[in-house]
Structure formats: structure tokens, C-alpha cells
Amino acid sequence: MNNLAERDQAVIWHPFTQMQTAPLPISIVRGEGSVLYGADGREYLDMISSWWVNLHGHAQPYIAQRVSEQLKTLEHVIFAGFTHPTAVELAERLVTILPQNQAKIFYSDNGSTAVEVALKMAFQYWHNLSKPRRKVIAFENAYHGDTFGAMAVGGRSAFTAPFVPFLFDVEYLPVPIAGQEEIVLERAATLFTDEVAAFIAEPLVQGAGGMVMYEPEVLDKLFQLAKKQGSLVIADEVMTGFGRTGRLFASHYLQEKPDLMCLSKGLTGGTMALGVTTCTQAIYDAFLSDNKFKTLFHGHSFTANPLACTAALASMDLLLSDETQANIQRITQQHTAFADQLATYSTIETIRQRGTLLAFDLKAGEQTSYFNNIRDTAYNFLLERNVLMRPLGNVLYLMPPYCTTNEQLAYVYQQIIYLAQTI
């Protein structure tokens, strides 16, 4: 068993994978820019930024250099009772680019833990104020991660079915997509009461729920309804953060500001696992007390890992550079022009875009009569043409690293056109 995929199959259980029917995994041995190199010499254009984490391309030299220096300086240290320069610098810099009301940074390890921490902060905030509130409002079809609290605030689906008895109750609002705004606002007017502890949303784009997009104006109104009742608003920007939507954060499209924010994925440019939950001064203050029981009792062994913080600092340098900002605008414009072209195909529906994110639905033609097949058909069609995309059901989307060139985009767009002509 020299073949990597076979060795993998002997000992590894993969995420979101039915191990009985899944084909052998593709072995990737190297990455550079937007290209992944297979063990067999094949190249793949990574148009999903490796599960939405990569911002500046693979094995990015500047990030690699910074992390390797940090590795020789301080690889890790306990973060209770101790601190270190990279954690402080990252927190200082995050506060300057986040919505102005975000005052404090709490570190964890990934997007799901960032959401868990936000929920625990929200529940304990009310507990500490001796005004317990239990209700949480979330969007239907939301995805906030795979740990229990994060699952609880996500939409119920086949993915959560075995766990439903163990998930706390949440009230759901339909997503205010175009045309549904008034209905959602009416529903919200009855749902938002003074019993609501928190409202959690993926601002402007629901990722795993199918790249469902909606406008900032209606989210502002929902935030207002929540805030009128004193409820806390949580913006889960795990996917939308760090330039994806064309601005640094999707929350920057809003007039209202969230009370808590969840960040991960692009935070380290896709280099290391790191999560961040941010909050307002008022939330932080509700935990200050001579009473030890008002402490936020939450932490992880690798909280604020210096290597991950360094990767995040290096990624932020790159993100804020003129070059990357220009690339984000360039990709946005390329996507817009391609969207016009795509609109002429009858097999493509509901084309939607927010910044560097372009999504559309595939409509099964005569060749592919089963809805379920269309996902695998599209995935394999593109993969055979060296394009890595990972449809969500019949939803296809592009989320490229910001270093992706126009030539690479043009190649990918052309393969999508072939797909549209084929299905």
C-alpha cells in the first residue's frame, strides 16, 4: 500500500463523507497561488479557497516566512494568566478594522467555537444581569458550525437529524431574500420580544445553506427590531469576513452594528485554525464583578496560539495592501461581467453576487433528470477539467483566493459555460 489514497482509506475518517460510497480522496502534495498540485502531477484550480479559508493563495511566501520566524521564537504558551505579543497585536489591529463598537477579542480555535463562545457570552450576559433570557432567533437554513450550540442555532436538516433531541430550541425566521422582505419583517415583529436573548445571522450571505443572499437594508431593520427589545445581535462572519463580500466585513454594509461577531476561516488567510469572538464593552462589562461566578468560564488548550495569531497578522498585512484590495475589486468586476454572460443560459437560474462571491443554481436538463445527480455531475465535470468547485446541492458558487488571475478566472468561467451547455 504505497498509494497515499489507499493508505488514507485504511486509517482515516473524513469530514462530511459517506465512507462506504465516497471515491478515494485526491492526494494533494503541494499548493501555490490558486493551484493545488496532485500526487499524480495534475493541477487543480482551487475555486472554493479550500473550504472558504484561503485568501492569498496556497503556501503564501510572506505568511510562511512570518510563521516560521514565530515558530523559532514562541510556538505556544498558556493564555490564562499569560499573554504574548502576537495575540495583543492581533487584537489591537482587529479592533481597528471591525465595526467601531467591537471592543474586546476572545480567542478560540475555529468557526464553531467562535459561535459557541458568542452564544455563551450572550446567555451569560443575561444571567449575570439577573435578567435571564432564553430565546434565540436564527434564520431558517442557517449554518453556524457542527458543535452542539452551533448546530442548535443552525437550521434543522438531515445533517442535524440524529442530534435534534439534544439541541436547544430556537425560533426561526425565513431568510429575507428579494421579494420576501415584508413577510419576514412582519414575522420578526411578533418573534422579537423581551424574552429574546440573541438574534444570530450570517450577514448578507448564508454560506452552507446554499449561498443565499439578501440585502443590508432588511438586515438593518431586523437588527433594529431585536435591539428595540434589548436583545443581543450576533453577526456570524466566519465565512463573510475578511473581504469576501467586497468590504472587509459584511457588517460594514450595515448602519446598525452587531453586539457580537464570530470570525474564523479567512482570519489566518487559511493557514492555521483560529477563531475569534468579539463583543461590545457593555457585554464585557457584564462579566466584571467581585463575584467569581460572573466569570466567562470558557477556554481551549490552544487559545490564542502564537503561530495562528502570527498567520492572522501576516494575512491582515496582505489583506489591507493596495494590491489585495485592487484584486478584490478586480475579481468582483470579472464575476459581474461573467454573470451577464451566464444569464443567457436556460440551465442557469438565480444568479447572485456579493463581492468575490458568485453563486447560481443549476437547473437539470434532459440529460440529468435527477436533482441529486446534478451535484455530482457538476462536481465531476469541473474536476475533470481541473477546476475544484464543490456544489451545495444544485447551487454552484465561486469563492476564489484573491490572488486568482484573470486568465485563471477566464478558464474557469469557460468550463462553467461548457457545463451549462451540457447539463
Ligand X SMILES: *Cc1c(COP(=O)(O)O)cnc(C)c1O
Is 268 among the residues that bind ligand X (CB under 6 A)?
A: no
Stretch that binds ligand X, among 23-31, 125-133, 140-148, 296-304 (CB under 6 A): 140-148
Q: Which residue is nearest to ligand X (CB)?
A: 111
Q: Which of 188, 239, 260, 396 binds ligand X (CB under 6 A)?
A: 239
Helices 61-73 and 306-320, packing angle to 10 deg: 150
Q: Are 289 and 128 in contact (CB under 8 A)?
A: yes
**Which residue stretch of 141-149, 189-197, 223-231, 246-254 sits at the interface with ligand X (rule: CB under 6 A)?**
141-149
Residue 417 Cβ vs ligand X, minimum distance, rounded to whole Å: 28
**Distance in Å, CB of 186 to ligand X, minimum:** 26
**Interface residue with ligand X, options 133, 223, 233, 236 (CB under 6 A):** 236
Task: Give residues 80-119 in contact with ligand X (rule: CB under 6 A).
Answer: 110-112, 115
In this chain, which of 46, 116, 202, 259 binds ligand X, going by CB under 6 A? 202
Cα(175)–Cα(202) distance, rounded to whole angstroms? 10
Least Cβ distance, residue 235 to ligand X (angstroms)? 10
Non-local (6+) Cβ contacts of 204 within 8 A are 213, 214, 215, 216, 219, 240, 245, 250, 253, 354
Q: Does 244 bind ligand X (CB under 6 A)?
A: no
Where does this chain touch ligand X (CB under 6 A) — which range of 137-145, 164-172, 348-356, 370-378? 137-145
Report whether 76 contacts 307 (CB < 8 A).
yes
Q: How many CB atoms lie within 10 A of CB 161?
A: 9
Q: Sketch the per residue contact string, 323 through 362, with ligand X: x for CB under 6 A, - otherwise.
A: ----------------------------------------
Smallest distance from ligand X to CB 392, Å: 11
375 near ligand X, rule: CB under 6 A? no
Distance from the Cα of residue 211 to its chain's centroid? 11
Cell output for 350: 438565480
**Residue 131 CB partners (closer than 8 Å, separation 6+):** none
Those residues whose C-beta lies under 8 Å from the C-beta of residue 101, and which sit 6 or more positions away, are 257, 259, 280, 281
For the bound state, the minimum distance from the C-beta of residue 6 to ligand X, rounded and expressed in Å, comes to 27
Instruction: Let me know if 405 is exposed, middle or buried by CB neighbors in 10 A (0-12, 13-18, 19+).
Output: middle
- Contact between 207 and ligand X per CB under 6 A: yes
* Residue 301: HSE in the Cβ half-sphere, 13 Å Cα cutoff: 0
Work out whether 141 is an interface residue with ligand X (CB under 6 A). Answer: no
Contacts with ligand X, residue ranges (CB under 6 A)? 110-112, 115, 143-145, 202, 207-208, 236, 238-239, 264
